[in-house]
Structure 1
Amino acid sequence: MEKRTDVITMKGNPLTLVGKEIKVGDKAPDFSVVTKELKSYSLNDLGSGVKLISVVPSIDTGVCDLQTMHFNDEAAKLKEVTIVTISMDLPFALDRYCAAKAVEQLKTLSDHRNASFGENYGFLIEELRLLTRGVVILDKDNIVRYVEYVPEVTNQPDYNQALEEVKKLL
């Protein structure tokens, strides 16, 4: 498995990403994650339209909460776009979080079983077995049209740029 260094840091400390870096123009790789209802979920389950994948280390942290709530709010406005959040959190934690925060506009997904998304999309942090922060946007043909690996994991992604890219695809 490919490993990449000098791509991200957490609180200034360099970390290693496992998996091949995905780039604009790539065909989106498949993945297998789990819903909060403990059901398998893959690329096909995202449907045939435009897709925004919000990637967070853990739903229980402040920045991840901000990111998830931001995209939940955007999902209410962008009904024709499938928006999901993927983390390594257990499905039970995702269920608890969604109930407590009234997250109903996007789906939260867990990559805890086998890190399939993390490895296939190059978001898995080797040292922590968490996903790094970022955003991936796929068009209706599952071609990557935007990808952001946030360089400092404790920072938020570029929401404006991601949403601008989504709107170009509508």
Structure 2
Amino acid sequence: MAHITLGGTPVETVGTLPKIGSKAPDFKLTAIDLSTKTMADFAGHNLILNIFPSVNTGVCATSVRKFNEKASKLDNTKVLCISRDLPFAQDQFCAAEGLENVVMLSDFKTGKFGDTYGVTFSSGGFEGLHSRSIVVLNDKGEVIYTEQVGETGDEPDYGAALASLE
């Protein structure tokens, strides 16, 4: 389990992020059109998994906007923004913001993604939601970078995540 903070208060997650060099675990997540997406849907692409508690919080929304901007400049790379928000809320956010370079995915049905990737909060005010984390996969589905942000209210290190794909 990871020991991080939420507003300065210590909280924990159910596990740890996948190890660098490992094959990324498969997932079943819900897209904004309510279809099911798995790792196979993104085969052959580099992936940035932008994982966060809720798109309806300031830092989460900022991370989606920043990755949307940067994603348009990346070759063979998709940014998957993953939370437990309902797909309807994710869709409304992207429509209102004019975001087209990210793929919004929801873990609302089962929470298995959060448990498998070790990012589900197991304590604190956000218990059951996902901790702010980045997992970068190469086009073979191997983990090449991870970051679990130490203070949930802080932004991830965008530069380090993007540099891992160079």
How high is the TM-score relative to the length of structure 2?
Answer: 0.94
**Which residue does the alignment assign to 2:153?**
154
Match of 2:138 in 1: 139
Paired residues, what number? 163
Does the Cα contact within 8 Å between 2:31 and 2:106 map onto a contact in 1? yes
User: Which residue of structure 1 lines up, in the alignment, with residue 54 of structure 2?
Assistant: 58
Q: Paired residue for 2:70?
A: 74
Give SS of 1:166's match.
Answer: coil
| TM-score for both structures, normalised by structure 1 | 0.92
Bigger helix fraction: 1
Corresponding residue of 2:164: 165
Take 1:51 and 1:95, find their aligned partners in 2: how far apart are those partners? 20
1:34-53 aligned at under 5 Å gives the runs 34-53=30-49
Residue 115 of structure 2 aligns with an amino acid whose one-letter code is E
Q: Which of the two has greater strand per residue?
A: 1
CA shift at 1:47, angstroms? 2.3
1:26 is matched by which residue type in structure 2? S
Native 8 Å contact 1:20 1:120 kept in 2? no
Are the aligned partners of 1:118 and 1:124 in contact in 2 as well (CA < 8 Å)? yes
Structure 1 partner of 2:106: 110
4+ residue runs over 4 A deviation: none
In the TM superposition, what whole-angstrom CA distance separates every residue of 1:110-136 from its partner, at most 9, and x where no partner exists? 011111211111111123211000111
How far off is 1:20 after superposition? Answer: 4.5
| 2:30 aligned counterpart, secondary structure | strand
Give RMSD over aligned pairs: 1.1
1:98 alignment partner in structure 2 = 94
